[in-house]
Structure 1
Amino acid sequence: MNIFVIGNIFNTSGVYTHIKNVTEELVKLGHAVTLYTPSFLVDPSRKKVLDELKGVEIHPLVYSYLENGVTTQIRTFRYFINSHTVYFNWGDLGPDKKILDELPSKVNIVYDMHEDPITLRLSYHIAKKLGKPLVKLLHDEPFRNSFGRGYRHFLGLKGWVYDTMMYFFYKFDKWAFLRAMRDGVLRGIASVSPSAFYYSGLDRVSEKYEVKTKVYKPGNAFNRDILFKYRKTRNKSDFAVFYARLVPQKGLYELPKIARELNTKLVVCGKLYNESDKRFLEVEGIEYKGYLPYDELYRTVADAKVLIYPSHQDGFSLVVLDTLALGTTVVTYDIPAIRFVYGGLKPVKIVREYDVKGMAAVANKVMEMNEQEYENEHNDEKVRQFLDLHSKWENVAKETEVFLSSFVK
């Protein structure tokens, strides 16, 4: 297949990890992959990632954006509004309109590797111009059939305002998907886990328009050759660890409350996106190490006896996956993304969302486990099978290959 990919290779989250590894593996499987990053997602500070992609052809316009000083609009209020109102500006592609005149001559399918309506608008016009099927990938849900995203529970009044806005924005986002399906352009929707369909109901809506859906199994993976070098299930140190993007939706504001209930210190690793949030890390019981190089991070997580993960928002948590691969037990909230992917695995302890005391209590019990009991949980057959399935990005690429090829005649 000749696959034209819409992907934000400059992304700093697990989305980047998925895009990079899956596109590279698709090339290894014999497919030609051309990747285009929309102008509004180009980030000059991370241009080195383009050199890290192996075998994937980067569309020349991406380099042109970098040369002309185009920079990412993410985390700006303007982008926030624009990204949720694309339905009302369906034909406005801005600088990305250029791509319609510079598309590759040989394309079998357009693969938009983001759930966002703003990339859907672009990929819709590309697929329509080419006369080829469009397949969309969901990491998180593109919208919810609920009141906001639950931010009111941990952001107070600001969260109420945000959830109220999102209540209406989600309706606009849904209209964008309905248009793409109704027009016969969007032909397939895949997801890295069932949670995106659970929240949005897109799997049910798509049936009306005969749009195929699929949950990839596995939807993500870890690098076995790297992580297993650090894996450790014995001789653990007596401390808990947290690592992720240091933002409220990942549980940043709950960390001080959890730390107060722990019988050990909580080591926190990650990048702060808002300097004013540093006060949540400058409390007794928390040792903030900042952003660590991968080798130091893996050693720290493998040495810890338990990962505290009070995340409210995930599609398929690579933090939890990598932590399991490193041989460390996880205590996390009961949210769909965790329940659907990790439910039933002994080293993943699930507590009610927002129950900070319950999370700390379970973590304290993990800290008290003897080595044999701890190791037995990590060597459980179900855990071993789970890690084996998720230890190769090739497995994710093959799931992707099967789904995409079903649209190519």
Structure 2
Amino acid sequence: MKLGIVYNNFLAPKFAGGGAIHSYEVVKRLSKFFNVVYYPSSPVFSWNREIVLQRAKEIEREGIKVSPEFYSILDDQEKFKVRGIKKFLLSDKIAREVSKRYTVDVDFLYEPDHTSFDIFYLGKSTKFGLTLHEPLFYNNSLRYLRRLIKFYKFNPYTGKGFYTRFLYNELYSKPKYKRILKKYKPTFIAAVSKGSLEESGLEGEVLFPGNAFDSELLKLRNGGKEDYIVFWSRLNQDKGIHEIPDIIKRIQSKLSKKVKLILMGRFFDKYNERLFWNKVKKYGLNVEYLGFVSKERLYDTVSKAKLLIYPTHVDGFSLVVLEALAVGTPVVAYGIPAIRSVYSGLSAVKIVKEFDQEDMSRKACEILSSTEEDIEEITNEPKLLDFLKLHSSWDNVANAIKNIIVKYSI
């Protein structure tokens, strides 16, 4: 069976996040089951030509054939290279134009990370499917607005705030995707968690498992704990960065002592970074900021923490939570749909109502007051160990996707 892959971030000039890792690991394995042809999608043609060519050669060395037409389209790159507001306004038009340059000669098309509109235009003449890693759009407008007002604050330097995010969803994402999904109906929509489908109001397949971690992380389990809390992710409002100092303050009040937070990652912008440190200074908190660290140091630090606090508002699965569990560290997280649908029922993940800082601090104190033996008991329960075994191999994820593709290609 010949499988076409439509995607952009294999050739991205910089790290493109967890969705790109998932896509790369999965497609590399799908090439063992199918005759895979890769169709780089329209965003690629806005990037540095030399980097794109280098990445394409690397992909081919991995056994993933790049469509020969890609190279002739790249020769005309200037026709499709747009930046700034034009990139936003013309993205749909450019996707249509690029798709016309490809000759699609496959049995099925697949987009592994819902980032390329091109899949809809290339899929006009064949069956196609896509996988969501975050909600495609937010279908419940009132609920989405109420949530945004609470966590997406106004940035005076950019002029952006909850209203810009809301209007983007209402005037661009939701109407555009609803129109295109109706006009070019996918053979299937899959998602790495039920939460992404739930938020978008869509029906589809839920991948199980939806993601994986490096099995080497399991070697870091049960190596002892030190008395600190950890947080790492994109340091922005979506992940609750502004709420973390308030939660730590509540924890200290309940425990009647100072607690240490180790923070890792990059801040989204200078304004949000300043707001965070102003709160830390105001509350007199003990925060050690390590910045963007190597994987070795990251996972070693997380494995020794007694707790990961994770007040996230936007997630499709959360590799952060998965990797924390892999190295034996319990988690307290907001119960947004993605977190609930993946991690409910695990004793090592305490799920609280979104925005409930009081309950989050209470659950955090319970874990911080526990002995190492108590923590090892909940992080080694049979249900969690079975969960980790399933999620410790990208082969399992690729097999889940392969089965869906085969099911719908018949």
If the length of structure 1 is used for normalisation, what is the TM-score? 0.84
Residues 61 and 227 of structure 1, relative CA distance in 2, 3 Å threshold: farther
Q: CA deviation at 1:356?
A: 2.3
Q: Deviations 1:252-282 (Å, cap 9, x if unpaired)?
A: 1212212323341111111223122221443
Residues 77 and 269 of structure 1, relative CA distance in 2, 3 Å threshold: farther
Cross-structure match for 2:187? 187
Cross-structure match for 2:131? 137
Cross-structure match for 1:124? 120
Amino acid at match of 1:151: L
Cross-structure match for 1:271? 266
Matches within 5 A, 1:184-263: 186-203=186-203, 213-224=204-215, 226-229=216-219, 231-263=220-252
* 1:115 is aligned to 2:106: no
* 1:159 is aligned to 2:162: yes
Amino acid at match of 2:122: I
Amino acid at match of 2:265: G
Cross-structure match for 1:361? 362
- Conserved in 1, the CA contact under 8 Å of 2:242 and 2:276? no
Cross-structure match for 1:35? 38
Amino acid at match of 1:246: L
Matches within 5 A, 1:6-405: 6-7=6-7, 8-9=9-10, 10=12, 12-28=16-32, 30-41=33-44, 43-44=47-48, 51=58, 54-59=62-67, 65=74, 76-80=84-88, 86=92, 92-93=93-94, 97-103=97-103, 105=105, 107-116=106-115, 119-120=116-117, 122-128=118-124, 131-147=125-141, 148=144, 150-156=147-153, 158-169=161-172, 170-181=174-185, 186-203=186-203, 213-224=204-215, 226-229=216-219, 231-263=220-252, 264-282=259-277, 283=280, 284-405=285-406
Q: Deviations 1:375-401 (Å, cap 9, x if unpaired)?
A: 111111110111111111111111111
Instruction: Report the RMSD for the aligned CA atoms in angstroms.
Output: 2.8
Amino acid at match of 2:233: A
In 1: Cα distance, 2:244 partner to 2:393 partner: 32
- Conserved in 2, the CA contact under 8 Å of 1:267 and 1:286? yes
In 2: Cα distance, 1:57 partner to 1:161 partner: 40
Residues 37 and 266 of structure 1, relative CA distance in 2, 3 Å threshold: farther
- Conserved in 2, the CA contact under 8 Å of 1:260 and 1:285? no
- Conserved in 2, the CA contact under 8 Å of 1:242 and 1:307? yes
Q: CA deviation at 1:330?
A: 0.7
Q: CA deviation at 1:72?
A: 8.9
In 1: Cα distance, 2:356 partner to 2:51 partner: 37
Q: CA deviation at 1:15?
A: 0.3
In 1: Cα distance, 2:79 partner to 2:379 partner: 47
Q: CA deviation at 1:173?
A: 2.4
In 1: Cα distance, 2:242 partner to 2:163 partner: 16
In 1: Cα distance, 2:261 partner to 2:378 partner: 22
Amino acid at match of 1:101: R
- Conserved in 1, the CA contact under 8 Å of 2:69 and 2:101? no
In the alignment of these two chains, the number of paired residues is 378
Cross-structure match for 1:206? none
Residues 368 and 180 of structure 1, relative CA distance in 2, 3 Å threshold: same
Residues 326 and 291 of structure 1, relative CA distance in 2, 3 Å threshold: same
Amino acid at match of 2:408: F
Residues 180 and 218 of structure 1, relative CA distance in 2, 3 Å threshold: same
1:202 aligned counterpart, secondary structure? coil
In 1: Cα distance, 2:344 partner to 2:309 partner: 16
Unaligned runs of 5+ in 2: 155-160, 253-258
- Conserved in 1, the CA contact under 8 Å of 2:390 and 2:396? yes
- Conserved in 2, the CA contact under 8 Å of 1:151 and 1:249? no
Q: Deviations 1:205-233 (Å, cap 9, x if unpaired)?
A: xxxxxxxx311111111121x2123x223
Residues 367 and 70 of structure 1, relative CA distance in 2, 3 Å threshold: farther
- Conserved in 1, the CA contact under 8 Å of 2:136 and 2:200? yes
In 1: Cα distance, 2:80 partner to 2:247 partner: 38
Residues 302 and 188 of structure 1, relative CA distance in 2, 3 Å threshold: same
Greater alpha carbon shift after TM alignment, 251-260 vs 190-199: 251-260
If the length of structure 2 is used for normalisation, what is the TM-score? 0.83
Residues 65 and 293 of structure 1, relative CA distance in 2, 3 Å threshold: farther
